[in-house]
Amino acid sequence: EAGVAQSPRYKIIEKRQSVAFWCNPISGHATLYWYQQILGQGPKLLIQFQNNGVVDDSQLPKDRFSAERLKGVDSTLKIQPAKLEDSAVYLCASSLGVRARSMDGYTFGSGTRLTVV
Amino acid sequence: EDKVVQSPLSLVVHEGDTVTLNCSYEVTNFRSLLWYKQEKKAPTFLFMLTSSGIEKKSGRLSSILDKKELFSILNITATQTGDSAVYLCAGGGSQGNLIFGKGTKLSVKP
């Protein structure tokens, strides 16, 4: 079974520039998550999709971050304009659903490491 | 506010030692407690716990959940240098979101 694919692996941008990350979840996984992991911290949920609808985006800084999941499959996360404090690893994860017994299929991608200078 | 607290934040042991990692949680509509191992890349799944008092084992790793005390532990016996990693604990809510702790950084010296 193919895993969660993310690209790019690394990105370095200057502050105030824009950047986009892409995620392709495991086939058949209805739920997709974007997490931000700052160095030395655990991942923090930014946004959760169920198919192509948003379930939770309460911690997404909507003045600069946006995300979409077209057709309920691939997803993109965008930052515009970027700030220094956005430097982090952005992890995408997917799961079959949200019921407890499907949570052990909760799989993370390798992440995109963003450095804002 | 939901939170997950892990302790210790870092730990250095020698090969062959046994370690216990701690995780306490306060998660609204709690459904499950998950443990992950994170080396340089993505967190990799170790265990999911949903019931109190039932130990889950995988080789030298084991974990148990106490839903009354809102607590879980991860044990690693006969540690090896390959166990060196950050171990993340996460509480799962009813919507599938995970609340992560800061992790415990384990270093196993030869």
Convert the pLDDT of each residue in A67-90 to its tens digit.
999 888 999 999 999 999 999 999
d(CA B84, CA B14): 11
- By CA distance, what is A43's nearest residue in B? B100
| Nearest CB to A110; choose among B42, B95, B96 | B42
Q: For testing the chain B interface, which of A31, A41, A103 should be mutated: the one with the most B CBs within 10 Å?
A: A103
User: Does B41 contact A at CB distance below 8 Å?
Assistant: yes
Closest approach of B47 to chain A, Cα-based (Å): 7
- Do A42 and B88 count as a contact with CB atoms less than 8 A apart? yes
pLDDT reported for residue B82:
96
- Do B32 and A100 count as a contact with CB atoms less than 8 A apart? yes
Q: Looking at the predicted structure, is the pLDDT value of residue A108 above 80?
A: yes
User: Does A98 contact B at CB distance below 8 Å?
Assistant: yes
Task: Give percent of chain A with pLDDT exceeding 90.
Answer: 78
Determine the average pLDDT of the residues in A45-57. Answer: 92
User: Does B33 contact A at CB distance below 8 Å?
Assistant: no
The candidate with the shortest Cα–Cα distance to A35, out of A21, A49, A45, is A45
Q: Looking at the predicted structure, is the pLDDT value of residue B97 above 90?
A: no
Secondary structure letter of residue B98 according to DSSP: E
With cut-offs at 50, 70 and 90, classify the pLDDT of residue B23. very high
Q: How many angstroms separate the Cα of A21 from the Cα of each of A29, A116, B70?
A: 19, 14, 36
- Do A104 and B45 count as a contact with CB atoms less than 8 A apart? yes
pLDDT reported for residue A1:
58
Q: How many angstroms separate the Cα of A87 from the Cα of each of A13, A15, A50, A115?
A: 10, 10, 27, 5
pLDDT reported for residue B47:
93
- Do A100 and B43 count as a contact with CB atoms less than 8 A apart? no
pLDDT reported for residue A52:
84
Q: Looking at the predicted structure, is the pLDDT value of residue B21 above 90?
A: yes
pLDDT reported for residue B1:
86
pLDDT digits (tens, 9 = 90+) for B45-86: 999 999 999 999 999 999 999 999 999 999 999 999 999 999
d(CA A85, CA A117): 10
Q: Looking at the predicted structure, is the pLDDT value of residue A99 above 80?
A: no
User: Does B48 contact A at CB distance below 8 Å?
Assistant: yes
Closest approach of B85 to chain A, Cα-based (Å): 12
pLDDT reported for residue A100:
59
- Do B96 and A48 count as a contact with CB atoms less than 8 A apart? yes
